Structure 1
């Protein structure tokens, strides 16, 4: 196996930045599909029910395929892995612009799920390859990765009104191909393979449980609840307003994720994780009680500060060859939670008071975060 060349702090920063740029340029096709597919399902030749399945399919294939992606990544390194993923993202965006029907779109969603798994894993791994400055790099990489979706969402909404919901995906295909300009600068050397027996466990550890609940609550219950509870309060054209609201979430990541990483470097990722999770829980309770927009803004801000904390914490607790597999495992649990959240929200919001739903969600988020704050943890 080729030895890893001696790298400086600026090399670590540059590699992390290039991986994040590749992810940010590949993401718009997926994020805008979340906006347009439910609203314009007939234009894609599908029903609304099929749209829901398609939007969940990429998470399902990641849950099943993260292990294989992690092994490919370890054997071939970042350059080849991320380059193939960027090409796959371009193929998917081109397919969204030209293909119709459930089966064709399902194949594209499964392909995108594997591509995202590779890009996401590389972004986290390169941010945490060196413990010194890992939290700072993780925060800045989140900011770079969020730039593409933040700009693409409102553009997708406006383009859908003027030119229809599919034309914009031609642009996103070109953007994804431009990610190759970033991936060509990534390291090409392989990584040590994870130790034998380090397989995904069905029994989650403490960080796994927090990842699951974070995905369930912040990427599931909160996002769907904001749309459901605020649907009568949105002025103007729904597709543009929804696009702007979704882009605010990415704008918060751009502005605040670096700050979250810097705070973690100063005060420690564990302490900050607990403090921010408890504050988020307070905001969730207010959200459920009806202080919708004020608490939603607070949750978006706190979520952006929380996002860069887990990768450096995982790397700190799983040093050596097991780090890549550990990062993949945490992503699996987050995907499980994020996939279950919208289903749970759709079942509960029409029949259960929102104060109960978000009160219980707040309790779970705080409890799992506090459980991570231990001298020895999973």
Structure 2
């Protein structure tokens, strides 16, 4: 494989996910605010929003084997088509069970595309961090634009119209997926395992728990409290900020990894993120400074785990290892909102965010050396 081919495959996989991901991210914004429109209760909203992660936790092993044995083109073309169907279903279906089927379909589709956007940039070791950086930037553009547009369109035409539009936007992703390599990666035993996770998997779990779960939920709550009369716009703006930061700063993460190494960059930036979480818990002026710093640091970190995992698991072991890392991050990200929802009304912010910071710092220090 040449560098030009690796760049092309990275670009096509990133565009595939960028066009399909808004259907998922916008659901997190609109479903809790318009539950009655979709014929579900608030507890059922929680189930629907968690379902895509739960099915990935169970299904990443199967998806990674299909990806390795059939190749990126087959896996991602099916996934892009399934994502378009799932997003359109949010506009047409009512009730928890039909919507649950759509969420499960989306979860498996995302698993295949998520493997691709990590595996294809790292298929050629030379320049892997750089490709991972700008790939994350391209992927983040889809949700950022989708969230901003959805918040406005929902106010004018209602949430159902939003998902009809996003379903149409997802369709061109099939064309980009069809341009991916058809050559299989080759199967290596060892899909996601839940026993004796390595240091990188423990870091992925902790990062998902703290930064994808507790922090993101807290960011939305802070934004809604700051603008209670425009909760949809406030929450949409908060979530959009997360993706805007990835667009701008993910390439910087790839550049930093090229200068000091992906592993060292991962450790240093994760420790800095833990400090940002601690500032959130301290409150006052530090709260907003910590929120802003954590959003930026999270964006720089996004492209780093893939190259670290790929370097530690060369050859056919790369795709299963990437799938395991994604599984553990999903477990953490699924647990984070549950913990935040239980503790935010009861416990002081310093206990919640300080505890998350301590866990992230400990997990970050544990991955300082390869093979741990």
- Same-fold call, TM cutoff 0.5: yes
Q: Which residue of 2 aligns with 1:218?
A: 211
183-192 or 224-233: which moved more?
A: 224-233
Q: Which residue of 1 aligns with 2:300?
A: 305
Q: Does 1:100 align with 2:94?
A: yes
Q: How does 1:50-61 map to 2 (within 5 A)?
A: 50-61=44-55
Q: How does 1:91-130 map to 2 (within 5 A)?
A: 91-130=85-124
For residue 292 of structure 1, report the CA deviation from its aligned partner: 2.5
Residues 273-332 of structure 1, C-alpha deviation per residue, up to 9 Å, x if partnerless? 111111111111111111322211110000001111100000000001111000000000
Residues 143-164 of structure 1, C-alpha deviation per residue, up to 9 Å, x if partnerless? 1111110000011111111111
Give yes or no for contact 2:65–2:187 (8 Å, CA) kept in 1: yes
Q: Does 1:148 align with 2:142?
A: yes
Q: Equivalents in 1 of 2:66, 2:173: separation in Å? A: 20
Q: Which residue of 2 aligns with 1:73?
A: 67
Q: Which residue of 2 aligns with 1:263?
A: 256
Cα pair distance change 1:165/1:199, threshold 3 Å: closer
TM-score normalised by the chain length of structure 2? 0.97
For residue 199 of structure 1, report the CA deviation from its aligned partner: 5.4
Q: Which residue of 1 aligns with 2:245?
A: 252
For residue 221 of structure 1, report the CA deviation from its aligned partner: 0.7
Q: Equivalents in 2 of 1:232, 1:310: separation in Å? A: 33
Q: Which residue of 2 aligns with 1:347?
A: 342
Q: Does 1:208 align with 2:201?
A: yes
| RMSD (Å) for aligned C-alpha atoms | 1.2
234-243 or 171-180: which moved more?
A: 234-243
Give yes or no for contact 2:18–2:140 (8 Å, CA) kept in 1: yes
Q: Which residue of 2 aligns with 1:314?
A: 309
Q: Equivalents in 2 of 1:232, 1:320: separation in Å? A: 49
| Equivalent of 2:270 in 270, 274, 277 | 277
Give yes or no for contact 1:37–1:51 (8 Å, CA) kept in 2: yes
Runs of 4+, deviation exceeding 4 Å = none
Q: Which residue of 1 aligns with 2:168?
A: 174
Q: Equivalents in 1 of 2:270, 2:74: separation in Å? A: 37
233-242 or 287-296: which moved more?
A: 233-242
Q: Equivalents in 1 of 2:219, 2:240: separation in Å? A: 14
Q: Equivalents in 2 of 1:190, 1:210: separation in Å? A: 29
Residues 76-113 of structure 1, C-alpha deviation per residue, up to 9 Å, x if partnerless? 11111111111101101111011000000000000000
| Equivalent of 1:365 in 345, 360, 367 | 360
Q: Does 1:227 align with 2:220?
A: yes
Q: Which residue of 2 aligns with 1:35?
A: 29
Q: Equivalents in 1 of 2:207, 2:345: separation in Å? A: 22
Give yes or no for contact 2:220–2:238 (8 Å, CA) kept in 1: no
Alignment length (residue pairs): 370
Give yes or no for contact 1:288–1:356 (8 Å, CA) kept in 2: yes
The 3-state SS of whatever aligns with 2:342 is helix
Q: How does 1:128-143 map to 2 (within 5 A)?
A: 128-143=122-137
Q: Which residue of 2 aligns with 1:3?
A: none
The 3-state SS of whatever aligns with 1:308 is coil
For residue 205 of structure 1, report the CA deviation from its aligned partner: 0.6
Q: Which residue of 2 aligns with 1:4?
A: none
Q: Equivalents in 2 of 1:369, 1:131: separation in Å? A: 23
TM-score normalised by the chain length of structure 1? 0.96
358-367 or 63-72: which moved more?
A: 358-367
For residue 230 of structure 1, report the CA deviation from its aligned partner: 4.7
Give yes or no for contact 1:198–1:322 (8 Å, CA) kept in 2: no
